């Protein structure tokens, strides 16, 4: 059985064909990253236009590279939630026409479910496991109990960590930095942090007095902005021209983001242990999403998993960021279980906001 996966939820246009074992027959990915870097953030109508310009070709490429005719597909899986409405709409409209034309079943995909399950394409990871997903639009901790069976332990109360890193990078004009001109904010900060002193600016770790599993990064970004302003003022230079302590700001920022993520994950592990939510035999934390490609953050989480006797699994960076492969894999998993497979002519709409799984955040808070 072969599944075509299509991803357009944010700023990546992706498509891939997978077989039932998770073997990638062919894939294609078009990133809009550089365009959005230049405009200083994603403009939804621009993202939509770029998906429109590229999706057909990306799907064609994935099919050609896999040497699969559409008639041989068992189903088409497409991200329909959550994400930018205009972007989701392009993928959904294309997919609806495609499945009708080729008379194929349609599998609507939750983008965060796909991020959570990707690891199972690469190695056998049994349910249940704890998963931390961190990206430009999301920050969440959940127990994955099955393909479409999640318990949401915590989520972002304001902005997501990738968004914070992108905004700090923009505030520092890192795009003008010779070594960072083509890097995302998170990548730029990781690179500069390698030569920085993380103790130079001791930012407060967010929500130090709240013992639940939710995340907050807006306050941290405010602290960072104040520090940047103060240093610009002291040097009497224009906004976004700071050079002297950029590495130290990057290192301190990365350290505080890592510390917040690690503390929340520790809390989630304790909650899971107290409530028997993870197996006693080789319990696992899966880390994914774009921010999970950060080595420093991975190491910080390893400290927590080592101390609590869990193992940390993280897909390689190319499977942490958005792509068509993870959507196709989610389709494979759903097809195997016969869950959420729709006829070609069914009417589906996209949902910009969609929570993953059963909301347990109140129970986590109450247990603190």
Interface residues with Fe ion (CB under 5 A) are: 135, 322
Please, what is the minimum distance in Å from the beta carbon of residue 295 to ligand ATP? 7
The CB density around residue 358, as the number of other CB atoms within 10 Å, is: 13
Single out the residue of 30, 96, 104, 138 in contact with ligand ATP (rule: CB under 6 A).
138
Token pair recorded at residue 123: 């190695």
Using CB under 6 A as the criterion, what x/- string covers residues 213-252 for binding ligand ATP? Answer: ----------------------------------------
| φ, ψ (nearest 5 deg) of residue 80 | -120, -5
**Cβ neighbours of residue 105 closer than 8 Å, sequence gap 6 or more:** 74, 75, 76, 99, 341, 342, 343, 344
Q: Is residue 190 within the footprint of ligand ATP (CB under 6 A)?
A: yes
Please, what is the minimum distance in Å from the beta carbon of residue 8 to Fe ion? 11
Cα separation values, 173 from 178, 187, 212, Å? 11, 14, 34
Residue 251 Ramachandran class (φ > 0 left, ψ -120 to 50 alpha, else beta): alpha
52 CB-contact burial (10 Å; exposed 0-12 / middle 13-18 / buried 19+): middle
DSSP character for 72? G
363 CB-contact burial (10 Å; exposed 0-12 / middle 13-18 / buried 19+): middle
Of the two residues 11 and 163, which places its CB atom closer to Mg ion in the complex? 11
Q: Is residue 322 within the footprint of Mg ion (CB under 5 A)?
A: yes
Of 61, 150, 141, the residue nearest 301 (C-alpha): 141
Q: Is residue 10 within the footprint of Mg ion (CB under 5 A)?
A: yes
Q: Is residue 289 within the footprint of ligand ATP (CB under 6 A)?
A: yes
| φ, ψ (nearest 5 deg) of residue 367 | -80, -10
Single out the residue of 291, 325, 326, 364 in contact with ligand ATP (rule: CB under 6 A).
291
Q: Is residue 186 within the footprint of ligand ATP (CB under 6 A)?
A: yes
Integer Cα distance of 142 and 32 in angstroms: 29
Binding partner at 138 among Fe ion, ligand ATP, Mg ion, none, C-beta below 5 to 8 Å by kind: ligand ATP
Single out the residue of 11, 27, 163, 212 in contact with Mg ion (rule: CB under 5 A).
11
**Cβ neighbours of residue 164 closer than 8 Å, sequence gap 6 or more:** 217, 218, 220, 221, 253, 257
Q: Is residue 166 within the footprint of ligand ATP (CB under 6 A)?
A: yes
In this structure, the strands spanning 284-288 and 106-110 are unpaired
Q: Is residue 137 within the footprint of ligand ATP (CB under 6 A)?
A: yes
Residues 66-105 interacting with ligand ATP (rule: CB under 6 A): 83
Please, what is the minimum distance in Å from the beta carbon of residue 24 to ligand ATP? 18
Please, what is the minimum distance in Å from the beta carbon of residue 300 to ligand ATP? 12
Please, what is the minimum distance in Å from the beta carbon of residue 264 to Fe ion? 19
Of the two residues 135 and 284, which places its CB atom closer to Fe ion in the complex? 135
Binding region for Mg ion (CB under 5 A): 10-12, 322
Binding region for ligand ATP (CB under 6 A): 9-11, 83, 111, 135-138, 162, 165-166, 184-187, 190, 289-291, 293-294, 321-322
């Amino acid at each position: 059985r072969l599944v075509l996966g299509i991803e357009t939820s944010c700023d990546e246009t992706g498509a891939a064909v997978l077989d039932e074992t998770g073997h990638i027959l062919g894939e294609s990915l078009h990133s809009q990253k550089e365009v959005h870097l230049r405009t200083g953030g994603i403009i939804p109508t621009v993202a939509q236009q770029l998906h429109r310009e590229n999706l057909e070709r990306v799907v064609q490429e994935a099919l050609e590279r896999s040497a699969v005719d559409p008639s041989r597909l068992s189903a088409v899986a497409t991200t329909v939630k959550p994400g930018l409405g205009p972007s989701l709409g392009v993928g959904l409209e294309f997919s609806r026409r495609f499945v009708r034309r080729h008379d194929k079943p349609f599998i609507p995909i939750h983008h965060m479910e796909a991020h959570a399950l990707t690891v199972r394409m690469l190695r056998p990871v049994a349910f249940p496991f704890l998963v931390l997903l961190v990206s430009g639009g999301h920050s969440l901790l959940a127990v994955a109990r099955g393909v479409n069976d999640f318990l949401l332990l915590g989520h972002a109360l304001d902005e997501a960590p990738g968004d914070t890193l992108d905004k700090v990078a923009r505030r520092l004009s890192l795009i003008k930095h010779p070594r960072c001109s083509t890097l995302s904010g998170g990548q730029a900060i990781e690179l500069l942090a390698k030569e920085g002193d993380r103790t130079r600016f001791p930012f407060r770790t967010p929500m130090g007095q709240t013992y639940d599993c939710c995340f907050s990064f807006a306050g941290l970004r405010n602290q960072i902005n104040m520090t940047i302003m103060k240093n610009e003022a002291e040097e009497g230079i224009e906004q976004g021209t700071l050079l002297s302590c950029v590495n130290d700001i990057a290192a301190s920022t990365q350290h505080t983001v890592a510390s917040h993520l690690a503390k929340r994950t520790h809390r989630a592990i304790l909650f899971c242990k107290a409530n028997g939510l993870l197996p006693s035999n080789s319990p696992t934390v899966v880390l994914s999403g774009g921010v999970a490609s950060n080595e420093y953050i991975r190491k910080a989480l390893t400290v927590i998993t080592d101390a609590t006797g869990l193992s940390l699994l993280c897909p390689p960076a190319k499977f942490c960021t958005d792509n068509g492969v993870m959507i196709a894999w989610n389709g494979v998993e759903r097809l195997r279980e016969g869950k959420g497979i729709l006829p070609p002519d069914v009417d589906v709409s996209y949902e910009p906001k969609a929570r993953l799984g059963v909301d347990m955040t109140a129970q986590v808070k109450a247990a603190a």
